Amino acid sequence: MAQLIELPHVGESVVEGTIGKWLKQPGDRVERYDPLVEVVTDKVTMEVPSPVSGELVRIIAQEGETVPMGAPIAEVEDGSGPTTADTPAQPAIAASAPPASPAPTSYLIMDARPVGPTGGSAVEAQSQEEDAVPAEPVPSASTQPAPPVIVAADREPAVERAPNRLSPAVRRLAREHNLDVSRIAGTGMGGRVTRNDVLRHLETQPASISPPAIPTPSAPAPAATPQPLPAGADEERIPLTPVRRMIADAMVRSTTQIPHAWSMVEVDITKLVSLRNREREKFQQREGVNLTYLPFALKAVASALKDNPTLNASWGDDHIVLKKRINLGIAVAAPAGLVVPVIHDADRLSIAGLAHAVADRSARARAGSLRLEDVQGGTFTVNNTGALGSVLGGPIINHPQAGILTTEAVQQRPVVINDAIAIRWMMNLCLSFDHRINDGAESGAFLQAVKDRLEAMDDDTPIYCPGGGCAPDGNPPRHQRRPGAVPGGVGLASRDCRTCQRRLSAGNPSVTATSSYLHPGPAGSRQRPVA
């Protein structure tokens, strides 16, 4: 029996996906859970596995097409019953069953009706098709059976009804270039015009120009629609990849829907530079990851968000949604484009834990192996543009969050301290925030909180203490050792820390949740805190 493969729902905020690449072709054997197709969403590029085993007999959604979640994208014959071709041999069953749709794409339209905001387009296309095609009488036992009509419909040229069978990507290209799609030969299933067909047509044909409308005495002539100019001899046009288009749409949505405001502060991180230089080499040998400035900044941001919850929020039209969890997104420049993986519950991780999380998310983002859950649930974003040499930036907020912070390049600058000029290590923090949610006072308080925490980090700042050594009476927190504890700096075991013991005895879940790589023993071996 032929099984329709639907584009699976992957989250509330993801309502459609673009077919990137089919990993199997019609006629190929597929096993259950085998990767079937690559799908690009506004969150991540993912491989969709086959839910059944069998033979891929038909591809419904072509590469480059954008389809709603829950819509059929392919058909797989699992061998469990009669196929579509066997249906004509059973006229009695066909007569008693509901009439089959004469066009294969009608299955896509019917299934897409309840799907998200894109369902409106499908309903509109369906109503247009119903108006264009006269209704046929319902077959009965005495009339000719429907199967021959299905076969004829499969062979029917798609040009006549192309406007009702176009994907959103094809419709957009036709509208932008003022194309008559009925004049383009389709290479898709059943003669369907695909995005690649339109692109090939544009490469071989000059841009079409609509003839000017003849003015009449009763109405002024309409203005001519501006047409894109053909590429010059010294120009090259690069087709947009699905990822690039997703990024473009996300940036436009953010800048048009969120009123951005911007602020910046300078931070003196001279003591933090000393701490990092002292521990960097040992940390690399012990943990296998580089100790950059980003984990320290993430720790300061996570702590500051607790005191400034309106920055860890989103806009809800008639209300503001405060997020109880602090999930920090980190911007990563992947080969295919910008990706923002998320470190969930970042406030529960120590600096060492954040360093591991940054290294893990960055490596998997560049390798294209992020899972969907790795890019969902972000509440605030941090971008380390200083790694690219930037000293000042105006970042675009990751919709629908309330803010984004950039950490700029660390530089030595002359600074006036106590009426004297000193050379200090300085870093700029740049914040873009949603002015609907926060004003200058709230954003300024948040930036000052991050600044204070970074400037207070020194040689005594713990790197491994669960929760960052968060003593309740410290701001920023300090690592508290028991009297007589053997000195060991960041390598102290949890049994030598008052804060750790207090949290363990209180059953604090953040200790056990992060203890797998937060507390190496005196010899560098990893161990869990002992309650």
CA dihedral (14, 110, 66, 124) positive or negative: negative
Residue 98 DSSP label: P
What is the distance between the alpha carbons of residues 386 and 430, in angstroms, rounded to a whole number? 11
The answer to whether 299 and 468 have CB atoms below 8 angstroms apart is yes
β strands within 385-528, DSSP E:
403-407, 411-417, 420-434
Q: Which helix (H) or strand (E) holds 509?
A: helix 509-514
- Write out the DSSP string of 188-249: SGGG---HHHHHHHHHHSPPP-PPPPPPBTTBPPPPPPP-PPPP-TT---PPPPHHHHHHHH
Tell me the catalytic residues. 435, 439
242 phi and psi angles, rounded to 5 deg: -55, -40
Enter the DSSP assignment of 104: T
Q: Residue 295 in contact with residue 382, Cβ under 8 Å?
A: no
**Secondary structure (3-state) at 119:** helix
The residue behind tokens 């075991």 is 493
**Which of 436, 427, 340 shows the shortest CA–CA distance to 381?**
340
Contacts of 47 (CB under 8 A, 6+ apart): 23, 35, 36, 37, 38, 39
The two structure tokens encoding residue 32: 């259950």
Q: Are 448 and 264 in contact (CB under 8 A)?
A: no
| Euclidean distance between CA atoms 419 and 400, whole angstroms | 45
3-state secondary structure of 428: strand
Structure tokens at 361: 């998310």
Q: How remote is the C-alpha of 252 from its chain's centroid?
A: 15
Residue 23 · residue 36 · CB < 8 Å: yes
Q: Tell me how crowded residue 63 is: count the other CB atoms within 10 A of its CB.
A: 17
